Amino acid sequence: MTASRANLVRFLDAHPQVALVKVVEALGSTPREKGAWMLVSPGAMFGTIGGGQLEFMAIDRAREMLAGGGAAPHPPFGHLLPANGEKGERLSIPLGPEIGQCCGGRVELSIGVADDQIRAELLRQAEAEEAKLPRILIFGGGHVGHALAAAFALLPVKVIVVDVRAEALDGMPPAVDTLLTPVPEEAVRDAPPGSAFVVLTHDHALDFLIVAEALKRDGAAYVGMIGSKTKRATFRSWYLKEAGGDEAALSRLVSPIGGEDVRDKRPAVIAALAAAEIMTALSRNRAA
């Protein structure tokens, strides 16, 4: 899983006794992939191995272990496997009628109490994963900017909202970074390859400057600008005649963002549609 290190720290600090449940093998059709994990405390969970009966039973077993139940010689589901040097126990579980699921595959889980060494390793992994997350730069902290930030806050991305107005950056989700700058186009130049740029400031002229800069980034995963067909046409004329742009670069611009199939212009709706569009672009860029 991809875990925000800050969220993981908060969970571990609040729950001194936790068990780690990890997918160590996924064969056939399974809810999650190999490497997916979750933490289970006596009263809370962090992360997921896919939900359903598989997860419910894994949670029950993890809590038995936390309560001092030790290893189960005859588990109520699946069967025990050699631990292969892992702490705790390893189970092979069929995802069929035996447990009330119809995936048809088989999952091998490791379940064990997380000691200080495991906790430290989880934090190290979370930090490494966070460093590799794709970057999304949202230019403009207006209504749609706030809605987009909220939509992305739950997703495995690193989000930075950029604005020239301090008050526009107030109230952003804790997982979202903010950048107050009088020259927002510099943030485009500083962004790592594969970043996504979403432009929706309060000023059309500023939008145009930022988009022109973003279109210079050949490795950008996504360049989008909020607005109408008229705004795109106005940008096209300016970009080709005054900004030194060309049709090849212009063809990479997504505008309006979120597509045109849904006409609802409420910020939360635009944000939901645009977030799906941007996540698709990021996925395609990473697969390329």
pLDDT at 190 over 50: yes
pLDDT band at 73 (very low <50, low <70, confident <90, very high): very low
Among residues of the chain, what percentage have pLDDT more than 70?
89
- Sequence-distant (≥ 6) Cβ neighbours of residue 64 within 8 angstroms: 72
134 has pLDDT over 80: yes
Tokens 């400031």 locate to 201
Q: Which of 239-243, 257-261, 266-270 has the lowest mean pLDDT?
A: 257-261
**pLDDT surpasses 50 at 115:** yes
Average pLDDT, the chain: 88
17 with 68, same domain: the answer is: yes
- Domain ends where: 128, 158, 189? 128
pLDDT of residue 87: 65
* Higher pLDDT pick, 202 / 86: 202
Same domain, 264 and 279: yes
pLDDT at 254 over 90: yes
Q: What is the mean pLDDT of residues 77-85?
A: 49
Q: Tell me the H-state helices in 67-136.
A: 116-132
Residues 37 and 158 in one domain: no
Among candidates 46, 43, 26, 45, which has minimal Cα distance to 34?
Answer: 26
pTM for the complete prediction?
Answer: 0.79
The DSSP bridge pattern shows strands 45-47 and 37-40 to be: antiparallel
What domain range is 105 assigned to? 5-128
Confidence of residue 3 (pLDDT cuts 50, 70, 90): low
Q: Which of 82, 105, 128 is the last residue of a domain?
A: 128
Residue that terminates a domain, selected from 77, 100, 128? 128
The answer to whether residue 147 scores a pLDDT higher than 70 is: yes
**High-pLDDT (> 90) share of the chain, %:** 67
pLDDT value at 207 more than 90: yes
**Angle (nearest 5°) at CA 238 between 233 and 244:** 130
